[in-house]
Amino acid sequence: MSQVDQDPMRTTNTSIWTNNSFISATYWGHWYQNSPAEEAPGGPKRTRSDSPATRKRGLVSVDYSQGSKAKEASSGSSFLISMNDFTLLRVIGRGSYAKVLLVELKKNKRIYAMKVVKKELVNDDEDIDWVQTEKHVFEQASNHPFLVGLHSCFQTSSRLFFVIEFVSGGDLMYHMQRQRRLPEDHARFYSAEISCALNFLHERGVIYRDLKLDNVLLDSDGHVKLTDYGMCKEGLRPGDTTSTFCGTPNYIAPEILRGEDYGISVDWWALGVLMFEMLAGRSPFDVVGSAENPDQNTEDYLFQVILEKPIRIPRSLSVKAASILKGFLNKNPIERLGCHPQTGFADITSHVFSGQLTGNS
């Protein structure tokens, strides 16, 4: 059994938040974000119309090169941590905003992932707001078994670091590429755990907004771990909405494309898309372009399909599976499964497809 297998991380939930903890809100997936009032959905533009009031915290220019004081949730004790406390094993990810390292904590030989970003990339007040949002979500995620949690965070004069649990089983995209489609029992199991993770965030005023195969990791025991909180929206009370155009194109809900205000409904739509992919082995919006119809290869055409085309459920799926897909992929968010103001999550857990797997969040 590997070191990672011996350390499933569920017993090491550690929350570290001090004034010196400055965590990157970068995310390196394919994403779009723009203000609906400024630009049509087809044109990506990086704006943040729903960000909280900007607030300067004076953190970027401060030199904490010797490490930052952190606090372990389980014991309440504080400690100083820096790069010197870790052994670098290898680089496991690169993107335009961040680099991810596989590291070993020297004192106990436990394996973690370390996300590193240059402070020069976090260069305005809105970036800082999104940094703080990701920090807050990581703090809460450490308390749930199906969300990637934080061990610690620190900074130097030029870089931001946060140390998160390393999930060794690969992402669902990797497994789907190998298997093409999943048995209904497997899809039911994964979707149940994902729905619990989403409900946990929703109950705490957070919309995830970036559910996709790439962001669903599997741990060494085969359980789900959602990751990447850079696109989350926090601070929402029941019934509150937001308006930013954002998401991965294939998973964007119709209400976002229509420029409407939206709430947690967009996460349940994305879960429907992901479940369709698991069960059918393809996207519900697969568009095959050709030389004669080059426009069918564009995102504008994809968005048109999402908005206007009926979703055809494969006949090979069971009646129960087809029913839950139709519920999540209802283009009307008011009627969508999981979106009823009083019975939302209960409607999901009681659905005939869900069986007895979902339980409590």
pLDDT single digits (tens) 285-321? 986 554 556 667 789 999 999 999 999 999 999 999 9
Q: What's residue 288's pLDDT? A: 56
55 — pLDDT class (breaks 50, 70, 90): very low
The arithmetic mean of pLDDT across residues 171-192, rounded, is 95
Average pLDDT over the chain, rounded to whole?
79
| Marked catalytic residue, from 7, 50, 127, 210 | 210
Calculate the alpha carbon distances from 44 to 181, 200, 208, 299 in Å.
31, 30, 20, 10
Q: What's residue 125's pLDDT? A: 76
Structure pTM? 0.78
Q: Long-range contacts for 301-305 (Cβ within 8 Å, ≥24 apart)? A: 302/249, 302/250, 303/41, 303/42, 303/249, 303/252, 303/257
Give the residue, 77 or 80, on which the prediction is more confident: 80
119 is in an annotated binding site: yes
| 105 vs 80: CA distance, rounded Å | 13
Q: What's residue 91's pLDDT? A: 97
125 given a catalytic annotation: no
| 206 vs 201: CA distance, rounded Å | 5
242 and 36 in contact (C-beta within 8 Å)?
Answer: no
- For residue 1, what are the contacts with CB-CB under 8 A and spacing of at least 6? none
The 10s digit of each residue's pLDDT in 39-48 is: 333 333 223 3
Q: What is the CA radius of gyration of the chain?
A: 21
The 10s digit of each residue's pLDDT in 254-275 is: 999 999 999 999 999 999 999 9
Q: Which of 91-100, 174-183, 232-241 has the weakest average pLDDT?
A: 91-100
25 — pLDDT class (breaks 50, 70, 90): very low
Q: What's residue 32's pLDDT? A: 32
The yes-or-no verdict on residue 133 having pLDDT over 90 is no
**Which of these, 341, 317, 339, lies nearest to 330 by C-alpha position?**
339
The 10s digit of each residue's pLDDT in 199-249 is: 999 999 999 999 999 999 999 999 999 999 989 999 999 889 999 999 999
Q: What's residue 130's pLDDT? A: 75
